Structure 1
Amino acid sequence: MISLRNVTLRRGTKVLLDAASVTVNPGEKVGLVGRNGAGKSSLFALLAGNLHEDGGEFLLPPSWRLAQVAQDMPETEDSATDFVIAGDSRLMAAEAEVKAAEAAGDGERMAYAYTALHDAGAHDAQARAQALILGLGFKTTELNHPVNSFSGGWRMRLQLARALMCPSDLLLLDEPTNHLDLDALVWLESWLKRYEGTMIVISHDREFLDAVTNVTLHIDVGRLTRYGGNYSTFEETRAQQLELQQAAYDKQQEKIAHLTSFITRFKAKATKAKQAQSRVKALERMEKLAPVLASAEFTFEFKEPANLPNPMLVLGDVDCGYAPAEDAAAGAMPTVIVRKATHTVSAGQRIGILGANGQGKSTLVKTIARTLAPLSGIVTEGKGLSIGYFAQQELDVLRPQDNPLEHMVRLAKEALPEGESGREQDLRTYLGAFNFSGDMVKQAVGTMSGGEKARLVLAMLVWQRPNLLLLDEPTNHLDLATREALSVALNEFEGTVMLVSHDRALLRAVCDEFWLVSRGSLAPFDGDLDDYQQFLLDEAKRVREAIKESQKEARAAAAPVLAPAARKSSSNLKALQRDLGKLEQQMLELQTQKNAMEARLSTLSDPQEIGELGLKMQTIDESLADIEDRWLAISEEIEALSS
């Protein structure tokens, strides 16, 4: 087990752990939570052996194998499959030992090396690696693409697959969901539930933590506290503790009163009914979450829109996608991702946009946001439409060399009439509400954390006073408390929300309806997120079956080469069955020989004999694999003839 006894951990002059004690038992699945900067990543560094305790005692079983996601961006021309296979440290060591034994000509060493290679799973390593790659959202056509051909987010997915490929007793995952879409996230949850070792995960995704953890460790002001149960259990317990603090309780009551007032005023009005219903959901969550929000780094709210056009916009037979590049060959065709989208977006709607990876969610949002021009069709905007757009790459759009105040000054100049600009003190005060106070308003954005950049983007969105919010993965860099603050702010927002997110807690809290982007079309999704998760599982099953069918066809095409008798007698079922029986007899004889060799191997002491026997066993393994292929091809032909 993992044990910390009165451990003190410092980074520079900051004390992250102060005489902290905790135990993690073998096989436990632990969620590590706490504010940004509380010390979660530093504790991971301690567990991984990259940091050492400054006081106390830290114990980790020396025999435990560790796996974690490398944080560096991989730069290699290796294929995606080979890169992930290389994550299996046990297999890599076995392959290296085989090469060394063969180079040395040491028979005994070779025999042991071949056995270790087999035990390490060399026979199915490629299949295991590719299952991980496909599960994380890659296409079958990308399995052999060079790692360097993928974007940064996809390369980080390969780093995750590489970590999962590695046999381990302790798995450390630091924000594994940041670069995943909802379909890959559902697959990862399923994989982690089957993981047999001890796992510790840092994540800001509530539902992910609830799904994969059964213990929660909370870091707060140097203390490390263990809670039994998943994140929701921790949160409820923590909320009860905070309710005992009068300040937190008062803040909760003030927020509840605000929401209740809105519901009372607007529940009976047809034009506000949906918004009132959203506030009811927010109130239900607020009753238990407000104490947690009271301890958040900040809370905020969107300004009331100046007007609410209805409809906000209308999509009429819109094709969304990408026009040919300027240097493309003459006659090059545009790339259409979503075809004939026809929908109306009304005032007050709260729409969650769903769809598996690569189906076109972001392309649709970019078209609505005017970042991409429609390839065909018409987007009709309501008079006075004001769009606030948070793009997945919005953090990259910020100017790294500029500070938050410079960003706000530039925004104010663009929005205000010519010759006017916002007063610097007003802009400083405004930024202070988003926790940019003191010297932080003059800090270069490039030196800030992802969470701080995301807060700045939110501040810029709120200042623009939009009536339509287009949010494409807005929570990637936000901690749990800030996500809750965003959830409440969106529920209080008077305008329309269109949201793409893999954060299911945010989707459940904010959205009243869902659109599905799938197979090139856009349609309402008749169901909730649980129905959608089942849809994703069904889609994954469909893809697996399609791959299986294509492999079956490939094997059938190769059957004449693998089994000449089957080719000559393809119309004769009895002849095929005789061939099948012969192959089964051959497999039985070879397996019997292999068993006898394995028994003999344990009694030999002469290195030369051991080496020769090891080579013979390798030859038998190859023969068995070939016969099994032929057996499978004939079996499928028999099945086809029988049907």
Structure 2
Amino acid sequence: MATVEKILRSEFPQLDGELFQYVTDVLDSGRLDFESENDLFEAVGELLQDVSGDTKDDEDIRDICQRMYSTMCLSHHVSGRSQVLLQNPIQLSQISNNYDADPEILNVLLMKKDQSSFVDTKKLEKAEAKIKAKQERRTERGSQKVGGTIVMEEASASQAASKKENRMESSGKNKSYDIRIENFDVSFGERVLLTGAELNLASGRRYGLVGRNGLGKTTLLKMLASRSLRVPSHLSILHVEQEVAGDDTPALQSVLECDTLRESLLQEERALNARISAGKGDGSESTRLTEIYAKLEEIEADKAPARASVVLAGLGFKHTMQQQMTKEFSGGWRMRLALARALFARPDLLLLDEPTNMLDVRAILWLETYLQTWPSTILVVSHDRNFLNAVATDIVHLHSQRLEGYRGNFESFLKIKDERLKNQQREYEAQHQYREHIQVFIDRFRYNANRASQVQSKLKLLEKLPELKPLEKETEVVLRFPDGFEKFSPPVLQLDEIDFTYSSDRPIFKNLSVSADLESRICVVGENGAGKSTMLKLLMGELSPVQGVRNAHRNLKIGYFSQHHVDQLDLNICAVELLAKRFPGKTEEEYRHQLGSYGISGELAVRPVVSLSGGQKSRVAFAQMTMPCPNFYILDEPTNHLDMETIEALGRALNKFRGGVILVSHDERFIRLVCQEMWVCENGGVTRIEGGFDEYRDILHEQFRREGFL
């Protein structure tokens, strides 16, 4: 605040100590709420106008507020001291009662009237009320409390529709499978996510929806799934969002039940045959059965079990698992089952939100291949670049509260977007130069009577030119992993001849021996249930082996990122409070700086964690994990929920980190970016892959061909 104080001192030397302290406190406490110089002017502008009297007009005060706002934006220092606002209007006459002994102090406090020391108390109260209201809105943003419990705000959508569209929809004449939604808005509580947006989805094409964390990708899918945005009523929509409810239904039957036409025909067939067997038929049953058999043959109902089995097997359900009841599966497997049901049902519009989060590398490669022949429309949110390159025919980019479409996969999108940005920059610069050229002519001949008509013509031309908008560039994501580095003699972390089992009938590991040091960059892969997370917990010492030894250097300090990291966060408090609770004794500035290193800054840092997006919660978990400065990281699925820019930043941060890293990941690009070594968990042990990810991919494709999935 030192620079802002200098501006106040130089521009308003007549500000006495109490008023000066009040203004600086208002600016300091409201710095996170000021979104523009207008907000700052509203807070203190009228007060400063009263103090300055006739020496400064409204424009002068606004210019000063602009300078102070720019200074505050450039400053990265946030005061750690507590902020105190004056609770009552300042009455200088009352203050003077405390200084009846010293006339010099009275002269300082009771300024002469021509110095404009009198302040309108109503305006002062108004300024205080504005700041207080903003602070209250900041703490309430993203959630509200009902009966002591935080309740999430709801998303909403609004859309303009033409009378022609309404008539076609109501008459049932709209038979197109294309989706065209124009001029719609989407909000989440008070936050506007999309405004005046347009979404066009052509039938049979596969769209990847991309954009930064927290911009509204998941919310848009929910608005489409709930039909809050108008999708033609004859189109079927499936949104893979919630896991299948567990009951006594076998997994294979649960998938088959998604084909409602087949199930209703089979049910009717059984009922008719029962009537005939019981002698209750009236002769019409045979005719109806003939029709049912013809329809079942037409939809190839006899092939449905085999098709459902292939989908389940591709997603990792072995033959025995397909006969298990759904209630016997964990949450992750039930999410896979929900995806299998959607793939089998083949809706007109399939909405997928981060489908690769629940899958291992083997299942992802199968899903990529399966979706490439998908007959209807797909809209998928994914952070996996390789998945989007393999699946997407188009990309929809969400940014700046609008949607922008691109033909081609993700790599094509990057190239086209980069070229568009270059063209926009060239156009902006050309227009700017043209404006300057016209302005130079106007300034040169403004007072030349002979050129008056030309000057007027140029002025009109300048007014008609389109408004110039500078190029909007997304800020680069930067993550920093602090070094807790000191040289250790290898091995730093080792499992020697480990046996481990959760139950006596099924051992997880037998004679497991692995080691890592501070130079390690290791990726652990394998099918779900092969023991990846179990091995990580053995390495950390959270699980005790049945037999064998874990060796760890005495100075080893491990930072752990759990696949279910959200469960480790207190969702009812803000990120700053969360760090203060976990690591007490530091200043608010230190907590904010730590969070800022992972992109949680400004208003996000004081918003309840429950109201943050999935990617923002992950960033809070990273900030919490790195606070003690570990020298070795064990990361279980760290890229889940992160946007692509943050994944790239995470990879760069890990490469710069001077310590050891072992991670579980299914993101091919991230693995290639970070890891130098691969461990495959399988058959109760760990196999080291010498050829890296390429060799592992070839092994999986060979398995697919051998098992008939490709």
Give the TM-score, by structure 2 length: 0.62
Tell me which of 533, 536, 539 is aligned to 1:362.
533
Cα 1:219–1:152, aligned 2, differ >3 Å: closer, same or farther?
Answer: same
Work out whether 1:84 is the aligned partner of 2:248.
no
Give yes or no for contact 1:65–1:170 (8 Å, CA) kept in 2.
yes
Task: Determine helix, strand or coil for the equivalent of 1:178.
Answer: helix
Q: Is this contact kept in 2: 1:293–1:485, CA < 8 A?
A: no
Deviates more, 1:44-53 or 1:473-482: 44-53
- Mapping of 1:4-43 within 5 angstroms? 4=180, 6-11=182-187, 14-43=191-220
Q: Which residue of 1 aligns with 2:448?
A: none
1:601 aligned partner: none
Amino acid at match of 1:426: E
3-state SS in 1 of match to 2:595: helix
Tell me the amino acid that sits aligned with residue 412 of structure 2: T
Structure 1 residue aligned with 2:146: none
Partner of 1:638: none
Out of 319, 329, 339, which is 1:160 matched to? 339
Q: Deviations over 1:82-113 (max 9, x none)?
A: 11111123323433554676668644433222
Relative distance call for 1:17 and 1:112 in structure 2 (3 A) is farther
Cross-structure match for 2:229? 52
Q: 1:323 to 1:85 in 2, by over 3 A?
A: closer
* Distance of 1:339 and 1:79 partners within structure 2: 32
Match in the other structure for 2:588 = 424
Partner of 1:503: 667
Displacement of 1:471 in angstroms is: 0.9
Aligned equivalents of 1:535, 1:169: Cα separation in 2:
34
Counterpart in 2 of 1:469?
A: 633
SS at match of 2:242: coil
Task: Tell me which residue corresponds to 2:293.
Answer: 114
2:646 counterpart letter in structure 1: T
The structure 2 residue matched to 1:523, chosen from 667, 678, 687, is 687
Aligned mates of 2:489, 2:336 — CA distance in 1: 41
TM-superposed deviation, 1:155: 0.6
* Higher mean C-alpha displacement, 99-108 vs 224-233: 99-108
Aligned to 1:344, the other structure's residue is in SS state: strand
Q: Do residues 147 (structure 1) and 291 (structure 2) align?
A: no
Q: Is the 8 A contact 1:5 1:22 kept in 2?
A: yes
Alignment of 1:445-456 (within 5 A): 445-456=609-620
Q: Which residue of 2 aligns with 1:492?
A: 656
Report the counterpart of residue 313 of structure 1 in structure 2. 492
1-side partners of 2:358 and 2:672: how far apart? 20
Specify every segment of 5 or more residues in structure 2 that has no aligned partner in the other structure, as ranges: 1-176, 276-280, 426-470
Residues 518 and 659 in structure 2, CA contact (< 8 A), matched pair in contact too: yes
The 1:194/1:310 distance shift into structure 2, 3 A limit, reads: farther
Q: TM-score, normalised by structure 1?
A: 0.68
Q: What CA deviation, in whole Å up to 9, does each residue of 1:148-173 have, x standing for no partner? A: 22111111110000001103343222
Tell me, in whole angstroms, the C-alpha distance in 1 between the residues paired with 2:555 and 2:349.
Answer: 55
Aligned to 2:565: 394
Please report how far the alpha carbon of residue 143 of structure 1 lies from its aligned counterpart in structure 2 after TM superposition. 1.4
| Shift, 1:469, TM fit | 1.1
Distance of aligned partners of 1:443 and 1:305 in 2 relative to their CA distance in 1, 3 Å threshold: same
Aligned residues of 1:8 and 1:16 also touching (Cα < 8 A): no
Summarize the Cα distance change of 1:297–1:90 in structure 2 as closer, same or farther, 3 Å threshold: farther
Contact 1:320–1:367 (8 Å) recurs in 2: no
- Please state if 1:171 is matched with 2:350: yes
CA distance in 2, matches of 1:67, 1:171: 5
Residue 545 (structure 2) aligned to one of 354, 369, 374: 374
**2:519 aligned residue:** 348
Counterpart in 2 of 1:478?
642
Superposition pairs of residues 554-573 of structure 1, within 5 angstroms? none
Q: Deviations over 1:313-370 (max 9, x none)?
A: 253533253355xxxxxxxx38532222333313222111122222222221111112
Once the 2 structures are TM-superposed, how far is the Cα of residue 13 of structure 1 from its aligned partner? 5.3
Query: Does residue 71 of structure 1 match 2:242?
Result: yes
- How much has 1:10 moved relative to structure 2? 2.7
Partner Cα distance (1:465, 1:308) in 2: 15
Contact 2:186–2:220 at 8 Å: present in 1 too?
no
Could you tell me how far apart the structure 1 residues matched to 2:311 and 2:393 are?
24
Contact 2:502 2:508 in 1 (8 A): no
1:367–1:373: 8 Å Cα contact kept in structure 2?
yes
> Contact between 1:30 and 1:216, CA under 8 Å: does it hold in 2?
yes
1:409 aligns with 2:580: yes
Which piece of structure 1 moves more, 38-47 or 357-366? 38-47
Q: CA RMSD in A?
A: 3.0
Partners of 2:244 and 2:337 within 8 A in 1: no
Aligned in 2, Cα 1:89/1:480: closer, same or farther, shift over 3 Å? farther
Tell me how far apart the structure 1 counterparts of residues 197 and 571 of structure 2 sit (CA, whole Å). 38
- Mind listing any 5+ residue stretches in structure 1 that lack a counterpart? 247-291, 325-332, 414-420, 546-643
Equivalent residue of 2:370, what SS? helix
Q: Is the 8 A contact 1:473 1:502 kept in 2?
A: yes
- Quote the Cα distance in structure 1 between the aligned partners of 2:511 and 2:473: 46
Change (3 A) 1:303 1:541: same
* Cα drift, residue 301 of structure 1: 0.9
1:498 counterpart SS class: strand
* Pairing partner for 2:383 from 204, 215, 230: 204
Closer/same/farther in 2, CA of residues 411 and 83 from structure 1, 3 Å limit: same
The Cα shift of 1:511 comes to 0.9
Q: Which residue identity does 1:116 align to in structure 2?
A: K
Alpha-carbon spacing, 1:115–1:14, altered in 2? closer, same or farther (3 Å)? farther
Q: Cα offset for 1:201?
A: 1.3
| 2:116 equivalent in structure 1 | none
The answer to whether the aligner puts 1:126 opposite 2:297 as a matched pair is no
Change in 2 beyond 3 A, CA 1:375/1:72 = closer
> How many angstroms apart in 2 are the aligned matches of 1:412 and 1:467?
18
Map of 1:539-554 to 2, 5 A cutoff? Answer: 539-541=703-705
For the residue of structure 1 that corresponds to 2:647, the secondary structure is: helix
8 A contact 2:689–2:695 mirrored in 1? no
DSSP-derived class of the 2:334 partner: helix
Report if aligned partners of 1:20, 1:224 keep a CA contact under 8 Å in 2: yes
Q: What's the counterpart of residue 2 of structure 1?
A: 178
| Cα deviation code 1:6-65 (max 9, x no counterpart) | 421333555444333454333222111122343333443454462135xxxx6x5x6544
Q: Deviations over 1:558-580 (max 9, x none)?
A: xxxxxxxxxxxxxxxxxxxxxxx
CA distance in 2, matches of 1:173, 1:395: 21
What letter is aligned with 2:302? H
Could you tell me how far apart the structure 1 residues matched to 2:708 and 2:492 are? 39
SS state at 2:357 partner: coil
Return the letter of the residue paired with 2:597: A
Question: Kindly tell me: are residues 293 and 233 of structure 1, through their superposed partners in 2, closer, same or farther at Cα, counting changes over 3 Å?
Answer: farther
> What is the CA–CA distance in structure 2 between the aligned matches of 1:464 and 1:69, rounded to whole Å?
38
Inter-CA distance 233–409: structure 2 relative to 1 (3 Å threshold): same
Q: Does 1:434 align with 2:605?
A: no
Q: CA deviation at 1:460?
A: 1.4
Paired position in structure 1 for 2:396: 217
Q: Is the 8 A contact 2:251 2:326 kept in 1?
A: yes
CA deviation after TM superposition for structure 1 residue 394, in Å: 2.5
- Aligned 8 A contact 2:262 2:301 in 1: yes
**Equivalent in the alignment of 2:622:** 458
Secondary structure of the residue that 1:469 maps to in structure 2? strand
Matched, 1:229 2:408: yes
The number of aligned residues is 479
Distance in structure 1 (CA, Å) of the matches to 2:327 and 2:373: 31
CA contact (8 A) 1:356 1:536 kept: no
